[in-house]
């Protein structure tokens, strides 16, 4: 039984929403955030990346930075750049990219669901990153950014959303600099809200698609507040956190590719010969070759693309982790041949989101920065859900979701 709760959203007026909405805090560094927010006092980056309003040499994890986030949030409220809705509502957030639109339900997920694993995860989190976002949530007393959840598609929810969108003008509707369209509706009608909540109650689980650190931080702060409140009732706003829930059949996971600095002492011919032991290998030439199915990879080496298809019996179809192409590549190539043992820490490997295109891989190899590149077929939502349901964890850098959510369309306060 999944918790979905309506709430009084803190939102910008329509006139400044496109200026205020920002990319998530973790997709750009401080220098990039300074440039992106330059000349734009409305940008939410002033709150989620508050170091941009402090000297460049500031310690990003100092109390000064978190205090600046709170100060800037208060400024936004004082100037009415953010105001609170007059009732508890659900919201619809739709995104359009490359002609395809996905529709999410914006509401609060339950801290209790996170603690009880009704909200299922597929990635490990790092304590230092958790603590950073926990401090941000504590001092702002708000979930400034939503987390990106998925759920098994429900036909009635789809129909409710479609009917609402067809019959109501969007409260926000703009296109970002990345050419992604963002569309946002407020659902005021209590009957509609209650029915959506009821339908979520019938779901056995929801799934973290993107934003594991923000999810953990939001839930842990809520649980912390519960522990520190001797008069806790369970109805407090801190028992919930902000999430956008998308049906699984509308989401797109794109490829997450690898580039490696050297061949670990092999010549190109020796490396190709070694690959032939576990893969059916075909030289495709200088034109970009994109993987066509699961267990088919493309490789770029010395100006040519290759098709690599993992041979049968080199992977385990019955193992949700073992069957993943990232696992196959690691266990047959990166570890035994290239001696890359730790994907999280090795300085000899880098990861390239498929949104950049395969041309980015050949560019980095041709420049001499990297020696070889591998492109993978994208993970499916079914694979993600199977792994989360099994309680296992995906290998690092497996999923890349596009488009990214914009932060600032609605904020959830914890009081």
State the burial class of residue 93 (Cβ atoms within 10 Å of its Cβ: 0-12, 13-18, 19+): buried
3-state class (DSSP) for residue 391:
coil
Q: Across the chain, how many H-helices and E-strands are there?
A: 13, 20
Domain that holds residue 25: 10-252+402-413
Same domain as 274, residue 246: no
Count up the domains in the chain and report the number. 2
What the block records as the tokens of 125 is 């989190």
pLDDT band for position 400 (50/70/90)? confident
383 inside domain: no
pLDDT band for position 395 (50/70/90)? confident
- Distance from CA of residue 102 to its chain's centroid? 15
Q: Token pair 């639109």 is at which residue?
A: 101
The predicted structure's pLDDT at residue 251 = 94
Same domain as 355, residue 265: yes
Same domain as 320, residue 288: yes
Q: How many other β-carbons are positioned within 10 Å of the β-carbon of residue 227?
A: 9
The predicted structure's pLDDT at residue 55 = 97
* Spatial separation of the C-alpha atoms in residues 53 and 69, rounded to whole Å: 9
Mean pLDDT value across residues 147-159: 98
Q: How many other β-carbons are positioned within 10 Å of the β-carbon of residue 149?
A: 24
What the block records as the tokens of 321 is 């982790």
Same domain as 210, residue 310: no
* Domain CATH code at residue 343: 3.30.1760
* Spatial separation of the C-alpha atoms in residues 118 and 125, rounded to whole Å: 18
pLDDT band for position 396 (50/70/90)? confident
* Spatial separation of the C-alpha atoms in residues 406 and 410, rounded to whole Å: 10
E strand spans, 261-377? 279-285, 296-301, 304-310, 349-353, 372-375
pLDDT digits (tens, 9 = 90+) for 166-205: 999 999 999 998 899 999 999 999 999 999 999 999 999 9
The predicted structure's pLDDT at residue 280 = 97
Same domain as 229, residue 282: no
Q: How many other β-carbons are positioned within 10 Å of the β-carbon of residue 87?
A: 13
């Amino acid at each position: 039984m999944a918790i979905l709760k309506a709430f009084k959203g803190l939102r910008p007026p329509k006139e400044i929403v496109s200026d205020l909405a920002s990319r998530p805090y973790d997709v750009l560094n401080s220098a990039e955030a300074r440039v992106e927010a330059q000349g734009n006092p409305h940008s939410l980056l002033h709150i989620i990346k508050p170091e941009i309003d402090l000297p460049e040499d500031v310690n990003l994890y100092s109390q000064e930075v978190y205090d600046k986030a709170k100060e800037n949030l208060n400024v936004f409220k004082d100037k009415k750049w953010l105001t609170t809705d007059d009732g508890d509502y659900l919201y619809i957030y739709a995104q359009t990219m490359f002609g395809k639109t996905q529709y999410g339900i914006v509401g609060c997920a339950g801290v209790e669901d996170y603690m009880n694993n009704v909200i299922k995860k597929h990635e490990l989190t790092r304590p230092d990153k958790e603590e950073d976002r926990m401090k941000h949530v504590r001092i702002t007393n708000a979930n400034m950014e939503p987390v990106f959840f998925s759920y098994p598609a429900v036909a009635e929810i789809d129909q409710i959303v479609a009917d609402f969108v067809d019959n109501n003008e969007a409260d926000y509707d703009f296109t970002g600099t990345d050419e992604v369209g963002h569309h946002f509706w407020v659902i005021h009608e209590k009957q509609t809200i209650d029915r959506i909540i009821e339908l979520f109650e019938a779901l056995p689980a929801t799934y973290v698609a993107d934003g594991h650190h923000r999810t953990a931080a939001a839930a842990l702060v809520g649980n912390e507040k519960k522990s520190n409140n001797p008069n806790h009732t369970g109805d407090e706003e801190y028992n919930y956190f902000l999430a956008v829930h998308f049906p699984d059949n509308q989401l797109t996971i794109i490829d997450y590719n690898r580039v490696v600095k050297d061949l670990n002492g092999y010549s190109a011919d020796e490396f190709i010969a070694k690959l032939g032991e576990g893969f059916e290998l075909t030289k495709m030439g200088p034109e970009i070759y994109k993987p066509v199915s699961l267990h088919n990879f493309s490789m770029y080496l010395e100006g040519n693309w290759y098709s690599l298809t993992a041979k049968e019996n080199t992977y385990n179809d019955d193992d949700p982790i073992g069957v993943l192409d990232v696992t196959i590549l690691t266990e047959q190539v990166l570890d035994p041949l290239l001696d890359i043992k730790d994907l999280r820490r090795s300085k000899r490997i880098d990861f390239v989101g498929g949104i950049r295109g395969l041309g980015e891989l050949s560019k980095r190899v041709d420049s001499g920065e990297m020696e070889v590149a591998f492109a993978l077929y994208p993970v499916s939502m079914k694979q993600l859900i199977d792994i989360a349901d099994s309680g296992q964890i995906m290998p690092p850098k497996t999923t890349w979701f596009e488009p990214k959510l914009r932060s600032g369309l609605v904020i959830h306060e914890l009081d």
